[in-house]
Amino acid sequence: MRAFVGALAQRGELLRVDEPVDTRFEISAWLAQLAEGPAVQFDQIAGHDTAAIGNLLNSVDRIALGLGVSRSEMQHRIVAAIEQGIAPERVAHGPCQDTVVHTPDLRREIPAPVFFAKETGPYITAGVIFARDSRTGKGNVSFARVKLLSGNRGMVGIAPNHHLAVMAREAKARGETLPIAVTVGNHPAVLIAAALYLRLGDDELECAGALLGEPVRTVACKTIGLDVPAQCEWVLEGTLDIDEQHEEVLVSEFHGMYEPYGSGPVATFHCLTRRNDALFQIIEPGYYPEHTLIGGVAIAAGLARTLRAVAVPVREVAVGHGGCGRLSAVVSLNAHRPGDARKAMFALWGSVNLIKNITIVDEDIDPWNPSQVEWAIAACMRPDRDLLIAPGVRTDRSEPIKQGGVATKLGIDATRKAGDRPDWTRAVPPPDVMHRVAQRIAASGVSVPGIADDPPLDP
């Protein structure tokens, strides 16, 4: 993460707040009001001697920068990383273990914020959790919020079908508790890999290595048999007991409202390690772009892979901030045949339960660009023909308007149809002139929305 923070500083995309800030709502207010702006580093946090940082990956372009690729290359790179990973490499020492605290008082040691008025405690929101099944040896790397309780205990916010919950139940059936390590302050590649929807036992850290182009260097934990990224900022080592539960009351969710999820399992952390000058990473939860887009970029890559596997001619899939990074997908198709749009809809609904609304567009539409997608819906979609409503489809507990575990889903075919118009040619200047002028504008230093490093495809 340090190198990425340095790159943002060089680009003028890092704001350092040197006045004291409070973990109760104040850090959250800074990140919320700068949600689409620079990364924000808090150098003085009341009651703590460590600094914190947030809003690192709050746009699709920022995520691509963190992965070292252009936005147009990013999805292909993530899909390739899923299919051809690079195994991690253990090293003897890592800066994440410069300082060691046994039986930590979590609220005293960690500058975790209280974010919103109806939440009942401070949360770790950028925690990447490592676990491994003692019987099969299969590992899991995933995101989950951790609510700091008293002493060295924390509630881990996982749904019953979360792979971590499955592993914890299997451990309990063997009379064990599940060792876990919560790491904070990871490279963007590790964060995106942790957000992928993979099969239980698939190694997300191998995907992170492929995104980096080299193995993730790991170190052995001090008190449990797990390896963690050597270059991360913080590590909490402990065990997760599925039988010990904490009533969470209300918690914010990606759609921007609160959910009453009930209780979650409790972890006991026996050891905390960190860098001497550790930066505590914070992801503003709720309906804020860093929270939605880390998940959305990862989910979109998985969906693109799903469509390729069933021979849908997909160019790119977007799961953007407007759709909460979970609920709406836009699919751009290359040269396609009648029926491909609906085939794509059914494949995506069958792949990720949370995906509710799907829009299909042609290859010249950037699925991450809401204005282009709205144009396609306005100009190319005929409601009596191009809408598909599917009632009673399974969804997940975080769907904001679920009823009985199901929701109605909507598909919109906004692709051009030959019979609708004799001529679909767009009225724009010639592509070569547009490209030449775009280069001159970029060279002048003028920032113009819509002029990017990767120009849109010619219509």
* DSSP state letters, 282-296: E---SS-HHHHHHHH
Under 8 Å between Cβ of 365 and 459:
no
Predicted local distance difference test score (pLDDT) of residue 457? 44
Within 10 angstroms of residue 177's Cβ, the number of other Cβ atoms is: 18
- With beta carbons less than 8 A apart as the criterion, state whether 123 and 146 touch: yes
101 by Cβ neighbours in 10 Å (0-12 / 13-18 / 19+) ranks as: middle
For residue 32, CA distances in Å to 13, 186, 317, 320, 440 come to 16, 21, 27, 18, 35
Tokens of 91: 């090293």
Place of tokens 């205990």: 153
Question: What pLDDT shows up at residue 455?
Answer: 41
Mean pLDDT by 10 residues, the chain (459 residues): 97 97 98 98 97 98 97 97 96 98 98 98 98 90 97 96 94 95 98 93 93 97 98 98 96 97 97 98 98 98 97 97 98 95 97 97 97 97 98 96 96 95 92 92 79 44
Angle between helices 2-10 and 60-67 (to 10 degrees): 120
Residues with Cβ within 8 Å of residue 378, at least 6 apart in sequence: none
Distance (Å, rounded) from C-alpha 128 to C-alpha 295? 13
Q: Which residues pair with 241 in a beta bridge?
A: 266
Distance CA 228, CA 191 (A): 13
Give the per-residue pLDDT at 134: 87
∠ Cα 324 328 329 (to 5°): 125
Query: What pTM value is reported for the model?
Result: 0.93
CA pair distance 170, 101, nearest whole angstrom: 30
Cα–chain-centroid distance for residue 195?
Answer: 5
pLDDT at residue number 217: 98
Please give the structure tokens belonging to residue 2: 């340090």
Distance between CA atoms of residues 52 and 22, nearest Å: 11
Q: Which residue has the tokens 């929305």?
A: 449
Q: How many residues does the chain have?
A: 459
Token readout for 205 is 């850290």
pLDDT at 450: 60
Helices (H) and strands (E) in the chain, counts: 13, 23
User: Can you give the pLDDT at residue 451?
Assistant: 54
* 363 three-class SS: coil
Q: 448: helix, coil or strand?
A: coil
